[in-house]
């Protein structure tokens, strides 16, 4: 049976992105996206908001662009694949997490850049699936960080 793994999310970064490099030198930028949904409660008619926090990893040139231009609160549209990570913590317990490997990140507004460089247009797109280094060996998508969801997402 055929399968399909595609994720499209729009939300705001909950903190500044963090870039690192794999042992082979491939850049990886990790960030957490807050995706909110509002609905009206059937019981009391009040408008409610539910926020889903999603870990995202961008690779290669896209990782560099995301790290350079995105900051906490930046609105983005992410297209990618759902990834399942499993590891053992220090107590030997098996932990797991779902996250997204970004194939495309689209910036949804023009704002100040993280580094001192010329101003650009909004709606820019960071990288594409064709930019990936075919012979790079990729380590686990993201390190477990315990997540601090108490901080407002924007």
pLDDT digits (tens, 9 = 90+) for 77-132: 999 999 999 999 999 999 999 999 999 999 997 655 555 444 444 455 554 444 44
- 152, part of any domain: no
Q: What is the DSSP string of 111-135?
A: ---SSS-----SS-EE--GGGS-TT
Name the average pLDDT for the chain. Answer: 81
d(CA 133, CA 139): 14
- 105, part of any domain: yes
pLDDT, position 142: 44
Overall number of domains in the chain: 1
Which residues, in sequence order, are CB contacts of 121 under 8 Å at separation 6+?
110
pLDDT, position 109: 79
pLDDT over 70 (residue 154): no
- 140, part of any domain: no
- 115, part of any domain: yes
Global pTM value: 0.70
- 149, part of any domain: no
- 137, part of any domain: no
Domain that holds residue 43: 7-131
Q: Best-predicted range by mean pLDDT among 22-26, 116-120, 133-137? A: 22-26
Q: What is the dihedral of CA 62, 60, 53, 84, to 10 degrees?
A: 140
For the chain, how many helices (H) and strands (E)? 1, 7
Arithmetic mean of pLDDT, 3-17: 97
* pLDDT over 90, % of the chain: 66
* CATH number of the domain to which 29 belongs: 2.40.50.140
pLDDT, position 140: 44
pLDDT over 60 (residue 144): no
Neighbours of 79 (CB within 10 A): 17
The better pLDDT of the pair 72, 147 is held by 72
- 142, part of any domain: no
- 148, part of any domain: no
């Amino acid at each position: 049976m055929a399968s399909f793994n595609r994720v499209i999310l729009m939300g705001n970064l909950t903190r500044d992105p963090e870039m690192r490099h794999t042992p082979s030198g491939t850049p990886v930028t990790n960030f957490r996206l807050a995706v909110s949904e509002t609905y009206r409660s059937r019981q009391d008619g009040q408008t409610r908001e539910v926020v889903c926090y999603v870990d995202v990893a961008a690779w290669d040139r896209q990782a560099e662009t995301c790290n350079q231009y995105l900051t906490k609160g930046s609105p983005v549209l992410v297209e990618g694949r759902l990834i399942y990570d499993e590891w053992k913590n220090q107590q030997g317990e098996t932990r797991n997490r779902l996250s997204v490997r970004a194939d495309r990140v689209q910036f949804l507004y023009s704002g100040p850049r993280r580094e001192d460089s010329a101003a650009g247009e909004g709606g820019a797109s960071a990288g594409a699936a064709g930019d990936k280094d075919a012979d790079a060996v990729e380590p686990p998508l993201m390190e477990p960080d315990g997540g601090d969801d108490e901080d407002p997402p924007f």
